[in-house]
Amino acid sequence: MSFHIATSHAQLYIVRRMPTSSSLYEVLYVSTIAPEAPLSVVADIVRKARPGNQERDITGLLIFDGQRFCQQLEGSQKQVLSLVERIRADPRHTDVHVVHHGALATRRFRQFDLGYTSSDDGDLLARLAQLDGQAAMAAFTALLAHVDL
Ligand SMILES: Cc1cc2nc3c(=O)[nH]c(=O)nc-3n(C[C@H](O)[C@H](O)[C@H](O)COP(=O)(O)O)c2cc1C
């Protein structure tokens, strides 16, 4: 009897903890499209990514400037890191450089399984790739003012 009570307390604790925003995690990376990849891969990536992200409760944004990708992904740490490892191994891009990762208080892109936008300024992502940590995240949020969302 006491065992059952202890179990139900533990389950209650887990149910309460899971939806809190404190368990959110985000990753921001910059990469370069593979030299042999046609530009049409971008639409293909976005179309296939959305249902997978929805299933894993991941949201985020992908920006492409014709040469570089910049992607922010947010969700549970386990799901986000597992996805980033798969993305890192994807031959459609190279030089995957994580510029920021860490805890996140509230989602930045709650409305997007994977938002997509393009940038026609090739310098923005090139500069972002040189930054690190909070400076990189600040540059990313600043560049959102220059893209169509
Ligand atoms: C720039 C880039 C961004 C990607 N973003 C996502 C994404 O947000 N979600 C996703 O499921 N796959 C994304 N992918 C595709 C993954 O690399 C991978 O192909 C996909 O998750 C299927 O993996 P699997 O074959 O191991 O199941 C992206 C690929 C690239 C090149």
- State the closest ligand 1 atom to the C-alpha of 56, by its place in the atom list counted from 1: 11
Pair of tokens at residue 120:
């026609």
Q: Where are the domains of the chain?
A: 21-146
Strand partners, 69: 31, 64
Pairing state between β 24-33 and 93-103: antiparallel
Burial 53-92, CB ≥16 within 10 A → b, else e = beebebbbbbbbbeebbbbbbbbebebbeebbeebeeeeb
Say if domain 21-146 classifies as CATH 3.30.70.100: yes
Which ligand 1 atom sits nearest the alpha carbon of residue 64? 1
Q: What is the distance between the alpha carbons of residues 112 and 93, in angstroms, rounded to a whole number?
A: 22
Query: What is the Å distance from ligand 1's center to 45 Cα?
Result: 7
| Assessment of whether the complete model's pTM goes beyond 0.85 | yes
Question: pLDDT tens digits, the chain, 149 residues: what are they?
Answer: 333 434 444 444 444 444 444 599 999 999 999 999 999 999 999 999 999 999 999 999 999 999 999 999 999 999 999 999 999 999 999 999 999 999 999 999 999 999 999 999 989 999 999 999 999 999 999 999 888 88
Amino acid at 66: G
